Structure 1
Amino acid sequence: MTTYIPQLTLPEQVFASAPASILLPVALGTTVGYSTRPKQTKETYNLIRQPPLRPPPWVFGPVWTVLYGLTGYGAYRGIGLNLTSILPGTMSVARRAATLYTVQLGLNLAWMPLFFGARRPAAAMLDVLALLGANAYLACLFFGTRDGLADPVAGWCWAPYLAWLSFAAYLNAGVGYLNGWDISDATLRRRKAVGKGAQ
């Protein structure tokens, strides 16, 4: 079980408002996406060796926007509507879920700077695995009728997110493996100079 940590939790007002709960992760995700220099990110994406089934770069922005919106709405439903519950147990679980949601959002926002900014696919892999675990548990809290929040709508908002995170973990592991876990500037410059297929 998680613990409610007010200092690590978004304010309750965010969860209590559907628009705020939806727009905050969308705005934060957009900000991180643009702060990692999209042109350089696209160039890096095209230079690294990729596993099969990789989508074109333009797919990621719309997919993440929809997923951030869905999870924001799910957080409003599963957390926001339960923070004012008259049942102390439900309110306690909602607070713990709010902390877990905030932590997973931080992990999510850290992935792109780790992978494309710092060029650390191994660290990004650890991040995405922690993200998967946190979100699987969060989905269980939303679906759960015993020691959970019993909001299947919120739980189903997490299903596409978990599927995409699993796919992202596959892509991250594939890129790491195929590139010897090294996508540093020096390696990519060398690859660009001699062609993508050479080391």
Structure 2
Amino acid sequence: MTSYIPSLTLPASIFQSPAASVLLPIAAGTAIGFSTRPKETQATYLALRQPPLRPPPWIFGPVWTLLYGAMGYAAHRAWTEGVNSVDPQKVLLAKHGATLYTIQLGLNLIWMPLFFRFKRPIEATVDIVALTGTVGYLAYIWGEVDEVSGWLLAPYLGWLGFATYLTVGAGYLNGWNFSDKEKLKSAKGGRTKFVDEKP
């Protein structure tokens, strides 16, 4: 079982506040999204060969906002239920979960730069597999503290499974190399530098 590691765990004040718990992952995810240049990210996404069932780019923002909000509320609820429990095992599990939650949030936030900015599909795949495993374990631990908290992570876990499929599929179909997607267009014109993007 992962130990409670204060240096790898968000401050307790974050978990204690429902607003802070919900807004932190939403704000962090939004900041990462904008830092990776949304137009370039969308261009890369459209330029890559993708496996079947690829969703349109516009769907990711709303879905991730909902998932970040749900995970944040789960964090608040599990922490509150756990640390205020008279059962020492639940207190311990809540704290262990807080460390796991912080780790998974970090893994979540580095995926987009790995995949889109640095164009490292292998590293992005390793990251999302580790993220999915961590969230699965976290859902189990927080489910032991508070059943609702565990179930709140279920949509997130399902989406991560789908995102893993998309990550692996895009990596495989593009030969695990995204660098050739940035050759300059010749006479096509347009404002982007991606070969396969439709004007």
Alignment TM-score, normalising by the size of structure 1: 0.91
Is the 1:17–1:80 Cα contact (8 Å) retained in structure 2? no
Query: What is the match of residue 79 of structure 2?
Result: 79
Q: Is the 8 A contact 1:47 1:191 kept in 2?
A: no
Question: Which residue does the alignment assign to 2:69?
Answer: 69
- What is the RMSD of the two structures over their aligned residues, measured on CA atoms? 1.7
Q: Which 4+ stretches in 1 moved above 4 angstroms? A: 191-195
* Cα drift, residue 65 of structure 1: 0.3
**C-alpha separation between the residues in 1 aligned to 2:52 and 2:141?**
34
Give 1:164's match in structure 2, choosing from 159, 163, 179: 159
Name the CA shift for 1:161/1:191 in 2 (closer, same or farther; >3 Å).
Answer: farther
% identical equivalent positions: 55
In the alignment, structure 1 residue 109 sits paired with structure 2 residue 109? yes
**Residue of structure 2 equivalent to 1:24:** 24
Unaligned runs of 5+ in 1: none
Give me the whole-angstrom Cα distance separating, in 2, the residues matched to 1:69 and 1:6: 23
Q: 2:93·2:142 contact (CA, 8 Å) conserved in 1? A: no
Partner of residue 173, structure 1? 168
Instruction: Go from structure 1 to structure 2 and tell me whether the alpha carbon gap of 1:191 and 1:169 turns closer, same or farther (over 3 Å shift).
Output: farther
Q: Of 183, 188, 196, which aligns to 2:181?
A: 188
Check the 8 A contact 1:14/1:20 in 2, yes or no. Answer: yes
Shift of 1:143: 2.1
Partner of 1:48: 48
Gaps of 5+ in 2: 189-194
**Residue 168 of structure 2 aligns to which amino acid in structure 1?**
A
Q: TM-score, normalised by structure 2?
A: 0.91
- Taking structure 1 as reference, are residues 129 and 72 closer, same or farther at Cα in structure 2, changes over 3 Å only? same
